[in-house]
Amino acid sequence: MIVGAFIMAALFIILLRLADIQLINTESFSKKGINLVQESVNQRTQEVVIDDGRGRFVDRNGEPLKNQAEPSLVLFPFLKEIDWPVEKIAEIVNVPSTRLNNMLTSASEPIVLSTNEGVRLSSKELEKINQLEIPGVFGIYRQSPLEESIGEHIIGITGENAELLRKKYPDKKDLSYKTQIGITGLEKAFDEFLLPDAETKLLYHVDGDGNPLFGINVKYIADSNPFYPVTVETTLDKELQTMAEEVLNKQKVENGGLVLLDIETNNVLAMVSKPELNRSDNHSLTNYMLQPIFPGSVFKTVISAAAIEYGLDDATREFNCNLNLYGENDGGQDDGMLTFARSFAKSCNYTFTTLAEELMEKDASAIEETATKLGLIGPVGWTGEVFHYPQFKQFPEEKSGRVWGNDADKKVKRAIDQTAIGQKDVKVTPLGVVNMMSTIARGGQKKQVRIVENILYKNGTNMYSFSSNSIEGESISPYTASSLQKLLRLVVTDPEGTGRRFQTSPLEVSGKSGTAQTGKKNAKGETLYNKWFAGYFPSNSPKYALVVVEMDTTSAEAGTNAAFYDVVNEISKLDK
């Protein structure tokens, strides 16, 4: 009786399990929400996905940034069992017929031939293929990754995560558990808009041996929705983005990056982060243009702005630039007596530590408030209400910068001195730095940085437009902005200025260099720095703001200034 009871209980459990699989949770099985009905259909079909239905990204001119519609030839395996005009297809696609037959002989899944397989087709050739009306032979435009990927950190990556999918979108039960979701970048920020409505595919039914189950008819299944998938129209310029990536590679900037803005609109035209994205290396997934790092002397722009705002910019006053940042004569400096303006051009530490100490006596909040007025501290990326999102962010991974780590440091002379030159606890993002330069070039007007302008429906109509938003809060005065413009230009025109190499630039450059200690050393025991150059051009009629930073480098190896110079040079050619 005990054994019988045990057997009955086991059978009852098995029946419950069968009921769960076949009757109760057939369309949402397990935590992954697997549709068992669909999976059973998939087991007896072979298919070619033409378009997974996820939204796309294009640049400001409509050029694709991640995927493209690539002309492709599709051959289904059952062709090896029938007579078909292989010679005609071989002639159209310029591939030996023997190669096509050999591929089919060993094929158990549909074969797709495109650029990756050395087959380049035009729209006319696709038309010729389809006019032959051969069962199992199709010329299609298939969504595929671009041959050379660009802007990977900006666009971001996607991946399968069934549990996260169900958690984020509990109401979207029709989504397959294999649906890709955004993990980083714009893929993550715009994920809900990009989710697929349905796939477009070619399929046919097979038996257990892979032979046609219902004849050789291949079905074309397409989404008839005129609105989806959507297209996210970014502000990026594909040509400028490609150029920027090539420049950093040429100058061997392996850890850092750059950001290029259109000053009038404050739109991102190009953004590159290094090291290059590698999905197996979590370190490389980070977009360092959105992460706070030590700015070094670039931060003297903030001290200068505060000094001007608080009336400490006496043009006749001179500072003893033979002294170090603490006011000590250690023999490491020999620039002599310099005015405020020339101190900025030559990046004299003592001048700015002196001014910072005087500012803190006047107002303990002067430095961080000025940094905020300049649009430096952040977050500075586009934020606003979008449909049911009260605080939608175009840069969800952007971090805020900071000036002070501890308010007690505001009363410590050495802490003030180190803060004045962009060290101690000062950390800002490259996006914040380039936004500061753009703000100065516009005369002090602060704007949010935008990287997406529109979301377009499939039929081309507008789903949503992102307005050009100002950053709330006080701004620097027009006088301060004008004074900073003169200082930034002097960095280049002064014979001993830290940006004098840009005197030969094809476009007039205004900017500020920076070197920040990181507290790290390389394998040789050499001190590592963050090397910066940030500015705008042309100086007289500012159009572009640019920041280039190389992290954890020795001064001798840094390619920062060379990369900035090359970008200006290439843009001058493109503008012509």
Number of neighbours of residue 198 by Cβ within 10 angstroms: 16
Give whole-number Cα distances, 79 to 42, 216, 234, 438, in Å: 21, 9, 43, 61
Closest by CA position to 317, among listed 348, 343, 346, 347: 343
User: Residue 147 in 3-state DSSP?
Assistant: coil
| CB crowding 551-570: b at 16 or more within 10 Å, else e | bbbeeeebbbbbbbbbbbeb
- Cβ(284)–Cβ(277) below 8 Å: yes
Q: Is the peptide bond before 538 cis (omega within 30 degrees of 0)?
A: yes
- Cβ(456)–Cβ(463) below 8 Å: yes
- Cβ(37)–Cβ(26) below 8 Å: yes
Catalytic residue among 297, 475, 483, 505: 297
- Cβ(189)–Cβ(57) below 8 Å: no
Q: How far is the C-alpha of 229 from the C-alpha of 318, rounded, in Å?
A: 63
Token pair of 246 as six digits: 């090539």
Token pair of 294 as six digits: 């030590």
- Cβ(406)–Cβ(426) below 8 Å: no
The label of the residue with tokens 């239905």 reads 53
Question: For the chain, how far is it from start to end, CA to CA, in angstroms?
Answer: 94
Q: How far is the C-alpha of 211 from the C-alpha of 44, rounded, in Å?
A: 10
* DSSP characters over 253-310: --SEEEEEEETTTTEEEEEEEESPP-TT-HHHHS-GGGS-B--GGGGHHHHHHHHHHT
Pairing type for strands 56-58 and 180-182 reads: unpaired
Q: How far is the C-alpha of 125 from the C-alpha of 90, rounded, in Å?
A: 11
Q: How far is the C-alpha of 463 from the C-alpha of 231, rounded, in Å?
A: 9
Number of neighbours of residue 34 by Cβ within 10 angstroms: 18
Query: Any long-range contacts for 332-341 (C-beta under 8 Å, 24+ apart)?
Result: 339/315, 340/304, 340/307, 340/313, 340/314, 340/315, 341/315, 341/486, 341/487, 341/490
Whether 297 is catalytic? yes
Q: How far is the C-alpha of 219 from the C-alpha of 217, rounded, in Å?
A: 6
Q: How far is the C-alpha of 418 from the C-alpha of 402, rounded, in Å?
A: 14
Q: How far is the C-alpha of 273 from the C-alpha of 279, rounded, in Å?
A: 14
The DSSP bridge partners found for residue 58 are 64, 233
Find the DSSP H helices in 494-559.
Answer: none
User: Residue 534 in 3-state DSSP?
Assistant: strand
- List active site positions: 297
